[in-house]
Structure 1
């Protein structure tokens, strides 16, 4: 009987434990998204492309520590800036942003995780259909490439409706905003991914090289 009450009491304590607070996401005046506390002492800026294999590697390798610990602790924030390289990249950016501030970072991670499959499919689709699709208006081109690569199905599986997707590709102002983020990149951004910590450009490299620099700056 004592064991029963001890276990029951433990269950009540476990059930009463408060859920962790969600990490804040904000949108800047230029249209970029920032994950983490606005008061974070370490401000990481990433310039990345969805069709960049090194960016996909960074997303996967950094996930547990960067987002799971450093950003979750409040010590670090991450601002993602698009560095658009091609139409498939732009199509992926439209879809990631279509999920809104709360969905942007998880959807970006999902796009990077599935990159080998959709990128190969998208390149093949583009090679076969480019002459025809290039006659379309730009929003219709991007939607066609997203459909052909399987990107549209990827975000639909995450709960985005067909109507919402159509509306996002029809939003030419948002597409222009994505391209403007790329155009505003400083000259130090000559490859992807590129990183800045508290305004200082980092040497080119992946998560293995960046993690020590973040910890030196105060990430924990």
Structure 2
């Protein structure tokens, strides 16, 4: 899979034998569950051991999800996954009626000021690129729901439990 229009940010080795590409939305409860409960175990078992390269691609289902991804992207590659992890772990705090105050508080933990927070969320070029990523996922890879994964190109839909996901990964490690 070619890199996204925004460029890919990944965890793991460049040359890992297995690549997992996840299309997720920051406001998707199943994506948050996967990020909190399954991904850390995949990271420990496969990513940290050099077996898997993991790429998260933005597939915002609504403007709030787009804004959350924008905050992760504006922070730079080194803070991208820490912000995404923080947002997913605090999902119930900011996916609410008035999300701006909790998003602002979370972003402060990563060095955002009021000015940089506002500037990021007003970055139309970044928003347009996020939409390109989502559109490409939908039109080119037929992503229709989140989370949707591609494990070495094989489509896997839904937040599977670790052992089910491990079966897919292990199949490619044995190949």
Give yes or no for TM over 0.5.
yes
Does 2:166 align with 1:214?
Answer: no
Where relative contact order (Cα < 8 A, 6+ residues apart) is larger, the structure is: 2
Deviation at 1:113, TM superposition (A): 0.7
Query: Secondary structure of 1:202's match?
Result: strand
Find 1:89's aligned residue among 65, 75, 92: 65
1: CA distance between counterparts of 2:143 and 2:112?
Answer: 32
Residue correspondences, number: 168
2: CA distance between counterparts of 1:187 and 1:44?
Answer: 14
Task: Report the equivalent of 1:157.
Answer: 109
Find 2:80's aligned residue among 104, 124, 149: 104
2: CA distance between counterparts of 1:199 and 1:48?
Answer: 16
1: CA distance between counterparts of 2:154 and 2:84?
Answer: 24
Does 2:94 align with 1:118?
Answer: yes
- Structure with max Cα Rg: 1
Does 2:112 align with 1:172?
Answer: no
Query: Secondary structure of 1:69's match?
Result: helix
Does 2:100 align with 1:147?
Answer: yes
2: CA distance between counterparts of 1:89 and 1:165?
Answer: 15
Instruction: Map 1:10-21 onto structure 2 (within 5 A).
Output: none
2: CA distance between counterparts of 1:218 and 1:74?
Answer: 11
- Any conservation in 2 of the 1:95–1:168 contact (CA below 8 Å)? yes
Deviation at 1:95, TM superposition (A): 0.8
2: CA distance between counterparts of 1:168 and 1:203?
Answer: 31
2: CA distance between counterparts of 1:29 and 1:212?
Answer: 27
TM-score by length of 1: 0.70
- Any conservation in 2 of the 1:46–1:194 contact (CA below 8 Å)? yes
> Residue by residue, what CA displacement relative to the aligned partner does 1:147-192 show, whole Å, maximum 9, x if unpaired?
24x1121111232233322332232111111111000013531211
Structure 2 gap ranges (5+):
none
Query: Secondary structure of 1:78's match?
Result: strand
Q: What is the aligned-residue RMSD (CA, Å)?
A: 1.9
Runs of 4+ in 1 over 3 A off after TM superposition: none
> Residue by residue, what CA displacement relative to the aligned partner does 1:85-143 show, whole Å, maximum 9, x if unpaired?
111111111111122101111110110111112112xxx23xxxxxxxxxxxxxxxxxx
